[in-house]
Amino acid sequence: PILVFANKQDLPGAHDEADISVKLNIAELRTRHSVVKCVANPQKNGGAVDDRVFQGLDWLVNAVQVDLATLSARVARDTAAAQ
């Protein structure tokens, strides 16, 4: 799974999720992905961490849990090939 944080959404001209996906060519990858708009700096977000940061991390953890068996097998194969 791939998670992209589209940070700096408080700045003029910030790209939206669809534009970032196109520019990074994410749709061409054959894996689950998510692009999350956020403002990661609490000082720029009223003193609070943007909830979308946590939502993105939750999505990533869930995506890994769903594909854990496949990911574990791939890591084992890649590790063995690298040795």
Q: Give tens-digit pLDDT for 25-76.
A: 988 887 788 888 888 878 887 888 889 899 999 999 999 998 899 889 989 9
65 backbone dihedrals φ, ψ, rounded to 5°? -60, -40
- Three-state DSSP at 57 gives helix
The alpha-carbon radius of gyration of the chain (Å, integer) is 16
**pTM metric for this prediction:** 0.72
At position 8, the amino acid (one-letter code) is K
- Residue 80: its pLDDT value, please? 95
CA max distance for the chain? 49
| 13 torsion bin: left (phi>0), alpha (psi -120 to 50), beta (else) | left
- Residue 61: its pLDDT value, please? 95
